[in-house]
């Protein structure tokens, strides 16, 4: 067993963080200092640790655990996402007293699971890491005091999750039986055509199903809008962003099997096309913002497929870059949603009316987030989409690119309505509390919005990281 402790510093750091949280959750409920007082610093340090550890490479633990550019890229993204969601959840009106440290412990476990997932290069390890990342979320989703919908959301997530996991495990058995290995590096050299290995292809499809569930790709998306709607805003911010990172990194690792023209590649492309079309069309009809974002994430899962099926390092880089863009822009929108819903209610579109007057910075940030999600320049979302279509054009999936482009046109309407309500509607609904207009709320939103715009105008540095990540996967 080769083990190099310096390679896994971020994971170890997160493990320590989670252990401290566990101890605090076991202890006195009045434990001082309260968890919100110190955890943001801890999470911020975690982000820093992940950045510092960037550049290390190595294979360890009987070669099931690979630290490479791709995993480091995603670890940084996950640590950043965890940092933001923790700050975001620091003031959570719908979390019952006395459950705070438990709540963060669960989120921490999930983040740790995702970090392990991003380095796992063997199917069983991937499966275990996926479970670690999922179980804690099953527990977190129903934690929304005085809300019946939350329990329903929790049950839905668990049931769908269990089915997806069962499928993945079943698929795994098929792959093992037909290809006689579970190491991705070895699987890469095997044939993945249906004619040669029908069982393996079916198995891979089922295994991918488990990932699609996390990613909320059509037709594994049914949980998504309901869970977003039922979970508290702050929990939804986590569920909507971080687990997707884990799913994308695994899909990127498995995407090296995919050559343009293979049945399974075509299947992924078709699912991607269906996912973006269905997600966007369904989102058009939503008035609840979290449901809207839920369907929008179904559409975004489809967009990411465009990068994965192209079968080139550029495609994987584009998918990685878009995943990061997706993380940042969604965190931004959820940040604003959480700050506007100070009492933790679910926001309707009409709740945004007149936001520009009540909280100009939040309104501006929401606009940046919404336009990034549409893919309008000069935002990170535009660059991400641009890289995706450039990578996929001329690799046999031009129709998928055209579908993506046409879908962006459909998506304009509902993202624009976020902007429209915030900026051009004046009539505010009565009896809703004023949005959180503190300097802290504004600064957080402003920083995220700045990141979205800056990475849109000067994407080169981030993109270089993504390219290295993409290259590290290719044989």
Partner 1 sequence: MDFGYPVLTLLILFPLVAACGLFFLRAPQVVRMYTFVVSVIELLLAVPLLGYTPNADFQFVERLDWVRQWGLEYYLGVDGISILMVWLTLAVLPLCVMCSWTYIGKRVKEFHFCLLFMTSAVLGVFCALDFVLFYVFWEAMLIPMYLLIAVWGGDDRKYASLKFFLYTLAGSTLLLAAIVAFRITGGTFAIPELMEHAFSFRFQFWAFLAMALAFAIKVPMFPFHTWLPAAHVQAPSAGSVILAAVLLKMGTYGFLRFCLPLTPAASEYFAPMMIAISIVSIIYGGAIALGQSDIKKLVAYSSVGHMGFVTLGIFLFNLRGVEGALFQMLNHGIVTGALFMMIGAVYERSHSRDIEKNLGLGKYMPAFMFFWGLMALASFGFPGTNGFVGEILVFVGAFQKSLWIGLLCVPGALLAAAYMFRVSLKMAWGKPSTARSWKDLNAREWVYLTIPAVFVLWIGLNPALFFKVIDPSIEKLLEDFDRRKVAHLETEQPMQTAATAIFGTVADKQ
Nearer to partner 1, 166 or 285 (CB): 285
Nearer to partner 1, 113 or 307 (CB): 307
Q: Does 259 bind partner 1 (CB under 8 A)?
A: no
CA distance 165 to 263: 23
Q: Give the residue, chosen from 409, 434, 443, 474, that forms a contact with partner 1 under the rule CB under 8 A.
A: 409
Q: Give the residue, chosen from 215, 467, 469, 473, that forms a contact with partner 1 under the rule CB under 8 A.
A: 467
CA distance 252 to 126: 13
Q: Does 447 bind partner 1 (CB under 8 A)?
A: no
Which structure tokens are listed for 409?
């046109």
| Region from 85-93, 110-118, 150-158, 405-413 binding partner 1, contact rule CB under 8 A | 405-413
Nearest to 306 by CA among 318, 298, 297: 318
Nearest to 251 by CA among 297, 308, 199: 308
Q: Does 464 bind partner 1 (CB under 8 A)?
A: yes
**What is the SS3 assignment for 67?**
strand
Which structure tokens are listed for 301?
């899962």
Nearest distance from C-beta of residue 55 to partner 1, angstroms: 19
Q: Does 377 bind partner 1 (CB under 8 A)?
A: yes
Q: Does 416 bind partner 1 (CB under 8 A)?
A: yes
List CB contacts of 415: < 8 A, sequence separation 6 or more: 296, 370, 371, 373, 374
Upper half-sphere CA count for residue 458 (Cβ side, 13 Å): 4
- Contacts with partner 1: how many residues (CB under 8 A)? 32
Q: Does 423 bind partner 1 (CB under 8 A)?
A: yes
Nearest distance from C-beta of residue 57 to partner 1, angstroms: 21
Which structure tokens are listed for 164?
């997806």
Q: Does 91 bind partner 1 (CB under 8 A)?
A: no
Q: Does 322 bind partner 1 (CB under 8 A)?
A: no
Are 209 and 175 a contacting pair, CB within 8 Å? Answer: no
Are 228 and 295 a contacting pair, CB within 8 Å? Answer: no
Q: Give the residue, chosen from 160, 238, 335, 371, that forms a contact with partner 1 under the rule CB under 8 A.
A: 371
Q: Give the residue, chosen from 3, 38, 41, 413, that forms a contact with partner 1 under the rule CB under 8 A.
A: 413
Nearest to 310 by CA among 298, 300, 297, 319: 319
Applying CB under 8 A, which residues contact partner 1?
A: 314, 317, 367, 371, 376-378, 382-383, 386-387, 389-390, 393-394, 401-402, 405-406, 408-409, 412-413, 416, 420, 423-424, 459-460, 463-464, 467
């Amino acid at each position: 067993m080769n083990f190099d402790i310096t390679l896994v510093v971020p994971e170890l750091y997160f493990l320590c963080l989670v252990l401290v949280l566990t101890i605090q959750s076991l202890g006195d409920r009045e434990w001082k200092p309260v968890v919100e007082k110190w955890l943001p610093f801890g999470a911020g340090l975690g982000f820093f640790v992940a950045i510092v550890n960037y550049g290390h490479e190595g294979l360890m633990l009987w070669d099931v655990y690979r630290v490479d550019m791709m995993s480091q890229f995603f670890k940084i993204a996950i640590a950043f996402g965890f940092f933001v969601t923790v700050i975001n959840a620091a003031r959570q009106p719908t979390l019952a007293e006395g459950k705070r440290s438990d709540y963060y412990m669960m989120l921490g476990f999930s983040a740790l699971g995702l970090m392990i997932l991003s380095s796992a290069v063997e199917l069983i390890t991937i499966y275990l890491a996926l479970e670690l990342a999922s179980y804690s979320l099953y527990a977190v989703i129903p934690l929304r005091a005085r809300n019946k919908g939350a329990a329903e959301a929790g049950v839905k997530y668990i049931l769908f999750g269990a089915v997806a996991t069962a499928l993945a495990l079943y698929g795994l058995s098929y792959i093992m039986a037909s290809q006689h290995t579970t190491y991705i590096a070895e699987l890469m050299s095997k044939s993945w055509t249906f004619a040669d290995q029908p069982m393996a292809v079916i198995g891979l499809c089922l295994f991918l199903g488990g990932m699609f569930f996390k990613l909320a790709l059509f037709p594994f998306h049914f949980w998504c809008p309901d869970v977003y709607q039922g979970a508290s805003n702050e929990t939804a911010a986590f569920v909507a962003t971080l687990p997707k990172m884990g799913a994308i990194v695994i899909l990127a690792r498995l995407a090296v099997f995919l050559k343009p023209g293979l049945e399974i590649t075509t299947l992924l492309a078709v699912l991607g096309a269906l996912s973006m079309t269905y997600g966007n069309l369904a989102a058009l009809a939503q008035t609840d913002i979290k449901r809207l974002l839920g369907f929008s994430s179904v559409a975004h899962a489809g967009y990411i497929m465009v990068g994965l099926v192209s079968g080139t390092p550029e495609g994987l880089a584009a998918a990685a870059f878009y995943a990061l863009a997706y993380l940042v822009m969604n965190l931004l929108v959820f940040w604003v949603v959480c700050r506007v819903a100070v009492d933790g209610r679910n926001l309707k579109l009409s709740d945004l009316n007149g936001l520009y007057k009540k909280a100009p910075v939040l309104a501006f940030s929401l606009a940046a987030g919404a336009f990034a999600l549409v893919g309008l320049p000069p935002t990170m979302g535009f660059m991400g989409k641009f890289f995706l279509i450039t990578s996929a054009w001329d690799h046999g999936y031009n129709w998928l690119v055209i579908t993506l482009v046409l879908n962006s046109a459909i998506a304009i309407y509902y993202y624009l309505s976020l902007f429209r309500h915030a900026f051009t509607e004046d009539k505010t609904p009565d009896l809703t509390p004023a949005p959180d207009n503190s300097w802290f709320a504004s600064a957080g939103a402003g920083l995220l919005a700045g990141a979205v715009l800056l990475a849109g105008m000067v994407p080169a540095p981030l993109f270089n990281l993504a390219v290295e990540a993409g290259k590290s996967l290719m044989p």
